[in-house]
Structure 1
Amino acid sequence: MAESESHKFGLGNRETWWADPPRGRDGGGPDKLRWPLFSLVFSLPYLLPVTRSLLAAERVTPGLVALWVLAYGYAAAYAAFPLVFDRRRPFRFAYGVGMLVLGLTLVAAANANPFVLLYGTAAMVFLVPPAWVVMLDGAALVLAAGIMLLAGRFADNYGDLITVASVTLAMFFMSSLIRAVRGLELANKEIATLAVANERERLARDLHDLLGHSLTTITVKAGLARRVLESAGDIPRAVEEIREVESLTRSALSDVRATVSANREVSLSAELVGARAALRAAEIDADLPHAVDNVRPEFQPTFGYVLRETVTNVLRHSGAKRVRVRLGGNWLEIEDDGVATEVVAGNGLRGLSERLAAVGGALRTSARPGGGLTVRAEIPLPEPSPAVPAVRAEPAGGLA
């Protein structure tokens, strides 16, 4: 049987069967304190007739004692059902098979009503996967019918056997419904966990992209203001740089608030302006486009993130003297002449790759001959919609 088919029918592979976690450790299953009392009430329909027939015996024999032990042992095993429900599947499987064997033994040795088998078939329904329930409970019912035929009791008790089969079938569907509901509950919990994890990843990625660029630019501009004051004493220029630092900090604070509330929108044109200012402050020659009109509007926010993170990496790590940015309808390419000779994938590049993958795009980073990196982000264009043939309108008119 193929693996997919075995899972579909509930058999599972060897690892799933023997290592599946118990189902009752999360609070499921019958109540361990109330169940023994309920099981005693449920067992009375078979315990009373069996007890009456045993008490009516003329003398006590070893066989009679064995039947007493068998009957009350069967009831005690049924009362212990909650203790088995939390155990691993092999133990539950052995318990269910044992209950069926005890029930069949009572039907055969004590001439008990086949209704007694219901306790074993019902226990099996809730302990093992559905495919095993069908096979084992079905086999037990067939064996019970065979025992009754051999004993000549089938004509008198076949109605009870049909009742046992019907009740077992109803409980089988009930247990399947319970499994389905439990599966949906677990799936909903997993979805909620994944949603929280995805939101945390989004927030971490946005804050990394946002604060990394803003703090790097602030550091560069503050350093430039210090150098101006130390070397030339050009106070007006230093004051202008400090004003830009103040503006950047206010903008970064606003962006952080918007990012936390998931309301921040990135503008490619604004990122170009910011990149130009940051590169100029770092004394890096910037060859940047002056407009973004040739970029498709739906791609501009994603390319804005790419430009921001790439320029931040250039300012931090590259040691470049020149940066060149080119834009297309569905692509963005950034080159620098820094000292890097190989691509080192950090958190920033991984975050950009995730952003592009979310919109079906891809990020390619390669080392340039002589040093520096080329970063290219590209998003496939959407498939053109099929042209709808034009319908020519005919002038209304009647018969000539």
Structure 2
Amino acid sequence: MTSNRIDVDSPGGPRRWGAVMALVWLFYLLNPLEAGWEQRDTVSGWVGIVATVAFAGVYAAAFLMLRLNRPEGAPFRISPNPAVGILALAVEVVLGAVICAAVGQSGTATAVYLAVTSMICLTSGWAWLVTVLIAATTYAATLVVDGWHQDRGILFGILAAGLAIWGISQAINRSTEVLAVREENARLALDEERNRFARDLHDILGHSLTVITVKAELAQKLIGVDLDRAKAEVADLERLSRDALADVRRAVEGYRELTLPGEVARARTALQAAEIEADLPNSTEDVPSSVRELFAWTIREGVTNVIRHSRARTCTVRLTPTSVEVADDGVGPGTSAPGNGLTGLRERAAAHDGVVVTKALDPGFSLSVAVP
């Protein structure tokens, strides 16, 4: 299958092109570099040149760390380790001061890069504090240093650069948070679907295999007594196994075609095979369509438990427009904890604001679901 995913780290990927575009702004360091070259016959001139090149290298390295090495989903920082960012900023501050001392006012161009670096190295509060301090110090220097002229443009440039990078970082971090939330929601939805499938598979196979087991035991007993009836039970076994296979296939495909009349008919057949007298409703027409599936699952779960656990002689199913009850005269619920079937039934009932009630009878046991 062809993938549509863009490799951000490929030679033509967005991250690499973004890094190239960002490093184009190093163009403004040509001013102090040119000033140093004009003084190349002096030590300060060469100090300015070397310091400017080193400054550009540190800035480029810091920005490339941010663009290329930031882990997916990590905050907008050049490194997960804050010390690395602080060290990079400190080195740039020292180099910026050396450039200004060596080549004069043209070295103040480095202040804009310091503001950008602080925004990608520090948390928002500290980043703004350092940016404002850099802006104030640089602007003050243009007022008090001999030979320098007042430059309001550098003040605006520093604050504007800081604001731009801060806005970008906030947008990236918010996008990262949104993606994380989406991934978590997708994971939860997948877990919910897995739980639903496990619940449905338990309900479908639990009922079908219970009936198949009962019929197999009955057929074995009838082989030497009533061969024709034994053959009929074996034929039922084949039909039930095919039905169970079809139910599983429907569950796998995501279809849930459970019907209330069909489940009443299944209950009648299953109870008869288990030699349990059945008292079942003759009609399901009074039950609203919105709760028919829920009531069908209730009958399936209740009858399956009657056949499997109760050792009952009779089983009664009562239907009203707002409730369904499966009761028997068996040995009662015992001391075992509720199984997956009852847990799944409670989840289904909760989706209809319904309540599942289990209670011991004398004798027997009752499972009921009521909806508003």
Q: 1:356 to 1:132 in 2, by over 3 A?
A: farther
| Counterpart for residue 14 of structure 1 | none
Residue 319 of structure 1 corresponds to 311
* Cα offset, 1:299, TM superposition: 0.5
1:363 is aligned to 2:356: yes
Alignment partners' CA distance in 1, 2:237 and 2:46: 97
Count matched residues. 349
CA contact (8 A) 2:267 2:300 kept: yes
The secondary structure found in structure 1 opposite 2:278 is strand
Match 1:80 to one of 36, 55, 61: 61
Match of 1:349 among 332, 342, 350: 342
Q: 2:237 aligned with 1:255, yes or no? A: no
Q: Deviations 1:227-254 (Å, cap 9, x if unpaired)? A: 1223xx2223223322322322232232
How many Å separate the matches in 2 of 1:51 and 1:216? 90
Q: In structure 1, what residue type is equivalent to 2:207? A: H
Alpha-carbon distance, 1:160 to partner: 2.5
Query: Are 2:219 and 1:238 aligned?
Result: no
- Tell me, in whole angstroms, the C-alpha distance in 2 between the residues paired with 1:152 and 1:353: 83
Tell whether the 8 Å contact from 2:345 to 2:356 is kept in structure 1 after alignment. Answer: yes
Determine whether 1:45 maps to 2:45: no
Q: Could you tell me how far apart the structure 1 residues matched to 2:351 and 2:147 are?
A: 70
In structure 2, what is the equivalent of residue 391 of structure 1? none
The corresponding residue for 1:376 is 368
**1:282-323: CA deviations, max 9, x gaps?**
122333333223322210101211221232233223333333
2: distance between equivalents of 1:313 and 1:51?
90
Which residue is 2:171 aligned to?
177
**Structure 2: how far apart are the matches of 1:100 and 1:345?**
67
Q: Over the residues paired in the alignment, what is the CA RMSD in angstroms?
A: 3.7
Instruction: Note if contact 2:214-2:273 (Cα within 8 Å) is conserved in structure 1.
Output: yes
Of 187-196 and 325-334, the range deviating more from structure 2:
187-196
Equivalent residue number for residue 74 of structure 2: none
Q: TM-score, normalised by structure 1?
A: 0.72
Q: Structure 2 matches for 1:262-281, cutoff 5 A?
A: 262-281=254-273
Post-superposition offset of 1:157: 1.8
Using the TM superposition, give the Cα deviation of residue 127 of structure 1 relative to its aligned residue in structure 2, in angstroms.
4.8
Q: CA deviation at 1:34?
A: 9.6
Matches of 1:99 and 1:377 in 2, distance apart?
A: 72
Query: What is the rounded CA distance, in whole Å, between the counterparts of 2:365 and 2:85 in structure 1?
Result: 62
Q: 1:196 aligns with which of 162, 165, 190?
A: 190
**How much has 1:128 moved relative to structure 2?**
5.0
Identify if the C-alpha distance between structure 1 residues 301 and 31 changes in structure 2 by more than 3 Å, giving closer, same or farther.
Answer: closer
**1:334 and 2:323 equivalent?**
no
Residue 96 of structure 2 contacts residue 107 of structure 2 at CA under 8 Å; is this kept in 1?
A: no
- 2:111 counterpart (85, 106, 117): 117
Which letter maps to 1:212?
G
Native 8 Å contact 1:93 1:128 kept in 2: yes
In terms of mean alpha carbon deviation, does 151-160 or 335-344 score higher?
151-160
Give the AA of the match of 1:355.
R
Structure 2 gaps, min length 5? 1-7, 71-78
Identical columns (%): 32
Secondary structure of 2:250's match? helix
* In 2: Cα distance, 1:327 partner to 1:132 partner: 68
Secondary structure, aligned partner of 1:335: strand
Q: For the residues of structure 1 that align with 2:234 and 2:279, how far apart are their CA atoms? A: 25
Which residue does 2:159 correspond to in 1?
A: 165
